[in-house]
Amino acid sequence: MQILHVSAECYPVAKAGGLGDVVGSLPRFQNEKGNQASVIMPMYRTPYLYSHEWEVVHKGKTNLGHWNFDYTVIKEKSNEQGFPLFLLDINGLLDREKVYGYSDDTERFCAFQIAVVDWLNSWTELPAIVHVHDHHAALIPFMMQHCYAFKRLQFIKTILTIHNAQYQGAFGWDKTTYIPHWDSWKRGMLEWNGQINPLASAIKCCWKVTTVSNTYMNELKTMSNGLEPLFEYEKGKCSGILNGIDYAVWNPATDKYIDHHFDLNDFEAGKLKSKQLLCDRFGMSADKPLFVFIGRLVGEKGADLLPQVISDSFDYIGRKMNFLILGSGEPDTEAQLKGLQSISQGDYATYIGYNEALSHLMYAGADFLLMPSRVEPCGLNQLYAMRYGTIPLVRRTGGLLDTVIDMGDPGGYGIVFNHAAVGDITQAIYRATELYVQKTTFNSLREKIISLDFSWEKSAEEYLSLYKSFA
């Protein structure tokens, strides 16, 4: 089965979140099962572009409204990712270092999608499946079905995977000319709440819609930033498929980012060595339990609660633990977390920014991972943490609920709380500090989570079953 994935991100080329990890892994596992999956994404000016060899496979010409532009598609020569990787370049729009955050993001991703469909229209042998990810690729199903120039593509099966429905890419009807000449009778397939809404359009147009956990799919019917009625109406073609993680990358026995490797047989000694490295680096004592947060410092992740949580934990539980924060995001939250350095007694540190190597060391050396997310479609951090024997403290939402069972429940192995609130999170930290001193129970839980299987094998098989259900 030939499958084309279209995405704004793909690790290790360019990644801003879990979307990049998924698109960087899923196609390889699909190919290992005998398929022909490939990825097309924008040609950002990232280090990966300059450190690999490429070949030009297509040059084309199309337009964004009244602006005619040239585009180029290149292919990575070595196939090191385990799938054909294509980058699409448009001078003036995609030739930038960052993935998102520009004032013309609407134009950038509209032009990218138009060029992808124009390129696809030139193929001699068309794919069986076009799999689009999030709103940056979500106009493609509409264009394939309802733009006159692309009628040849209208019977290709399309799938949308929603990694985060809070971001929908909506823009005004004054930009309707961006979309190549289309059947005006199909206006309703673009419109939602008085705007052109790419995510809503794909939900209407795609053959199937998935998101990255079963619980998140159910939550979207009541919490999807205005799309709730649409998810209820289209529920017959919607399903949740839990993300997996790449065990070749996230493996404490071989991880290139950590010095002290370990597996199930020697995890206590291995984790302690990584913990000692972390504590030495940040001036902490390795005798205390180490709590870490890794991720974007934004409200969606509950990061704005962390300064008060840390202060209250020290005040009400005592200085029995260490905290280490890695991430970047909202300036106020960054400033508050930096400000906590002044009250540290060798038990708190923060690193503002992105550091892949440090994140791996933190997963390996930490005792507990904090994830107080308000919204978490799947969550990968808790899966990485458990792979490295780090016990997750998570809010009962989305994929966190689907992957972490509270240690007080039958078969449980983590700590789960109900609300993204300072009191709930602080109570979870108290439970963790009590667990830490019960070494037999603590190590038993760590042994259990290392043994859990959250690899891509099962998830990739579910996607293939979905494809085959209508291919």
Which residues constitute the domain of residue 430?
267-451
Locate 107 and state its tokens: 């134009």
Q: Which of 430, 443, 59 is nearest to 265 (CA)?
A: 443
Contact assessment for residue 347 and residue 321, using Cβ atoms and an 8 Å cutoff: yes
Same domain, 240 and 289: no
pLDDT for position 458: 87
Can you tell me the distance from the alpha carbon of 404 to that of 188, in angstroms, rounded to the nearest whole number?
Answer: 40
CA 21 and chain centroid, separation = 6
Question: What tens digit of pLDDT does each residue of 446-462 get?
Answer: 999 999 999 998 899 99
Is the C-alpha dihedral spanning 133, 139, 142, 143 positive or negative?
negative
Given its phi and psi angles, is residue 449 left (phi above 0), alpha (psi -120 to 50 degrees) or beta?
alpha
Structural domain contains residue 261: no
Beta bridge partners of 370: 393
β-pair type (129-133, 157-162)? parallel
Q: How far apart are CA 268 and CA 412, in angstroms?
A: 20
Say yes or no: 298 and 193 in one domain.
Answer: no
Alpha carbon of 38 to those of 77, 82, 132, 162, 310: distances in Å? 13, 9, 12, 19, 44
Does residue 19 share a domain with residue 89? yes
Q: Are residues 275 and 230 in the same domain?
A: no
Q: Is residue 152, in this structure, part of any structural domain at all? A: yes
Task: Residue 182: give its domain's CATH number.
Answer: 3.40.50.2000
In terms of domains, do 192 and 272 share one? Answer: no
Q: Which two tokens stand for residue 377?
A: 């479609």
Mark whether 217 and 281 lie in a shared domain.
Answer: no
CB distance 117 to 149 below 8 Å: no
Instruction: Check if the beta carbon of residue 211 is closer than 8 Å to that of residue 187.
Output: no
Same domain as 361, residue 276: yes
Residues 319 and 463 in one domain: no
Residues 24 and 12 sit within 8 Å (Cβ to Cβ): yes
Query: For the chain, how many structural domains are there in total?
Result: 2
- Note the pLDDT of residue 470: 77
pLDDT value for 367: 98
Q: Is 197 part of any domain?
A: yes
Name which of 289, 357, 299 is nearest 323 in CA terms.
Answer: 289
Looking at the fold, whether 215 and 297 belong to one and the same domain comes out as: no
| Helix (H), strand (E) at residue 282 | helix 267-282
Give the C-alpha separation, 133 to 211, whole Å: 10
Do 447 and 314 reside in the same domain of the chain? yes
Model pLDDT, residue 471: 58
**Which regions in the chain score pLDDT beneath 70?**
471
Helix (H/G/I), strand (E/B), else coil: 268: helix
Instruction: Give a yes or no: residue 33 inside a domain.
Output: yes
The continuous run of DSSP H or E covering 400 comes out as: helix 398-403
Whether 84 maps to a domain, the answer reads yes
Quick one: 239 and 299 in the same domain? no
Residue 360: inside a domain, yes or no? yes
- The single residue listed with the structure tokens 């790419």 is 198
388 lies in the same domain as 429:
yes
pLDDT tens digits for range 357-402: 999 999 999 999 999 999 999 999 999 999 999 999 999 999 999 9
